[in-house]
């Protein structure tokens, strides 16, 4: 490792140089840098023929070489200027009023303000003088009673605020929100105002009394009209009820008559139907009897039918003991036997066949 004639190595020389540079940087930042706070704007002035730099510097650090640069701080926030002024109105009455107005340095124009003002106090003085000027020019146009007229008062205060803003805008100052408060009127005007207010209140009282009398009369008229209307409605209601009752009775009578008529019609139809059914039944009965007779006639025509019916006739008779002389005829001949007993076979054939009878005791000898 090489050494120079002072006994330092190359690494040692670099360390010393680095340390010197750090110390030099600290000295320069300590002596040649200014810090701009967060709530302020910095304007740097070059102490040569160039003068104020045409730019605003925000919060942070700015180069300011001693003897070559000067940095001034400005507040960009709003300031509230309060003044108590005596304004002589157009009616020559003096009114004392507290005036508050908001002003600030226009954003981005601190370097312009730095050309004309040393600090904010000088700006405040300019704003104050401008306020006195336009308050006496514009607010003095009002009469004393205009000060308690909110619409007129606010209109004049806005007009004065706009005039101040136009006047101070070239200097880099903004003016906003002029407020008039704590208004104190001239004692003479106070007395006149009190008398005027009392007279106005008396007039309002008389007007109110007249209105109350008119309202009472109107109320009474309304009450009478309401009573008449209620009575008319009740009469109409009563008449409508009577009309409805009569109409209901008429409808009920009509319904009863219709019901009776319909009942009679239904009964007549039922009686007619019953007679028709009875006639049909009689017809069917007669037809059945005729059919039975016809069928029995056909039965009589069959061979052996006389003997069958003779047997049935004999079975239906209740006879005692009969003696037949078999020497005169053959008892096995039925017709001869029947004649001997007094029965007419032809009459038996023409007669209606007898209904089956209960079998009784029949004896034949």
Q: What angle do CA 192, 196, 200 make, to 5 degrees?
A: 170
CB 223 within 8 A of CB 181: no
Please check the confidence at residue 35 and state whether its pLDDT lies above 50.
yes
Q: What's the pLDDT score for residue 355?
A: 46
CA atoms of 325 and 212, how far apart (whole Å) = 150
- pLDDT tens-place string over residues 58-113: 887 887 777 777 788 888 889 999 999 888 878 777 888 899 999 999 998 888 88
| Alpha-carbon dihedral angle through residues 248, 250, 253, 257, given to the nearest 10 degrees | -130
CA atoms of 28 and 45, how far apart (whole Å) = 19
Give the residues across from 169 on adjacent strands.
none
Residue whose tokens read 């005596």: 86
Least confident stretch, 30-39, 67-76, 141-150, 351-360 = 351-360
Please check the confidence at residue 357 and state whether its pLDDT lies above 50.
no
Please check the confidence at residue 226 and state whether its pLDDT lies above 80.
yes
Q: What's the pLDDT score for residue 1?
A: 43
- pLDDT tens-place string over residues 229-241: 998 898 898 888 9
Look at strands 60-63 and 94-105 and give their pairing.
unpaired
Q: Over range 333-342, report the average pLDDT.
A: 64
CB 175 within 8 A of CB 102: yes
Nearest to 79 by CA among 104, 114, 105, 113: 104
DSSP readout, 168-191? HGGGTEEEEEEEEEEEE--HHHHH
Q: Over range 332-339, report the average pLDDT.
A: 63
CA atoms of 195 and 247, how far apart (whole Å) = 75
CB 174 within 8 A of CB 103: yes
Q: What's the pLDDT score for residue 352?
A: 46
Q: What's the pLDDT score for residue 125?
A: 93
Q: What's the pLDDT score for residue 128?
A: 93
Please check the confidence at residue 360 and state whether its pLDDT lies above 50.
no
- The more confidently predicted of residues 340 and 2 is 340
- The more confidently predicted of residues 298 and 240 is 240
Q: Which residues contact 190 (CB under 8 A, 6 or more apart)?
A: none
Report which secondary-structure segment, H or E, holds 161.
helix 150-168
- Count CB-CB contacts under 10 A for residue 3: 10
pLDDT band at 272 (very low <50, low <70, confident <90, very high): confident
Q: Which residues of 204-243 are buried (b: 16+ CB within 10 A; e: fewer)?
A: eeeeeeeeeeeeeeeeeeeeeeeeeeeeeeeeeeeeeeee
CB 85 within 8 A of CB 132: yes
- The more confidently predicted of residues 191 and 177 is 177
- Count CB-CB contacts under 10 A for residue 74: 20
Q: Over range 18-36, report the average pLDDT.
A: 63
What's the mean per-residue pLDDT of the chain?
78
């Amino acid at each position: 490792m090489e050494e120079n004639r002072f006994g330092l190595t190359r690494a040692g020389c670099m360390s010393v140089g680095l340390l010197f540079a750090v110390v030099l940087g600290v000295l320069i930042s300590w002596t040649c840098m200014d810090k701009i706070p967060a709530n302020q704007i910095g304007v740097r002035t070059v102490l040569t023929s160039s003068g104020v730099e045409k730019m605003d510097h925000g919060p942070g650090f700015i180069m300011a070489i001693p003897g070559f640069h000067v940095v001034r701080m400005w507040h960009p926030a709003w300031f509230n200027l309060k003044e108590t002024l005596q304004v002589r109105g157009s009616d020559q009455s003096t009114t004392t009023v507290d005036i508050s107005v908001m002003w600030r340095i226009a954003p981005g124009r601190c370097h312009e303000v730095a050309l004309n003002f040393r600090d904010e106090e000088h700006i405040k003085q300019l704003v104050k003088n401008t306020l006195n000027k336009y308050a006496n020019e514009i607010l003095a146009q009002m009469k004393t009673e205009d000060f308690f007229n909110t619409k007129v008062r606010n209109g004049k205060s806005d007009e004065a605020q706009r005039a101040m803003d136009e006047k101070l805008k070239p200097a880099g100052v903004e003016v906003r929100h002029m407020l008039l408060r704590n208004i104190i009127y001239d004692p003479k005007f106070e007395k006149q105002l009190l008398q005027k207010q009392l007279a106005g209140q008396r007039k309002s009282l008389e007007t109110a009394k007249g209105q109350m009398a008119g309202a009472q009369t109107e109320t009474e008229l309304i009450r009478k009209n309401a009573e008449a209307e209620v009575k008319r409605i009740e009469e109409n209601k009563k008449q409508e009820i009577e009309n409805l009752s009569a109409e209901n009775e008429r409808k009920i009578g009509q319904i009863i008559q219709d019901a009776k008529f319909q009942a009679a019609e239904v009964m007549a139809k039922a009686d007619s139907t019953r007679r028709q059914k009875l006639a049909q039944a009689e017809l069917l009965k007669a037809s059945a009897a005729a059919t039975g007779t016809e069928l029995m006639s056909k039965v009589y025509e069959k061979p052996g039918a006389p003997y069958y019916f003779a047997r049935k006739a004999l079975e239906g008779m209740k006879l005692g003991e009969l003696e037949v002389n078999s020497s005169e005829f053959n008892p096995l001949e039925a017709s001869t036997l029947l004649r001997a007993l007094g029965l007419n076979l032809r009459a038996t054939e023409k007669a209606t066949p007898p209904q089956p009878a209960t079998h009784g005791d029949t004896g034949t000898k």
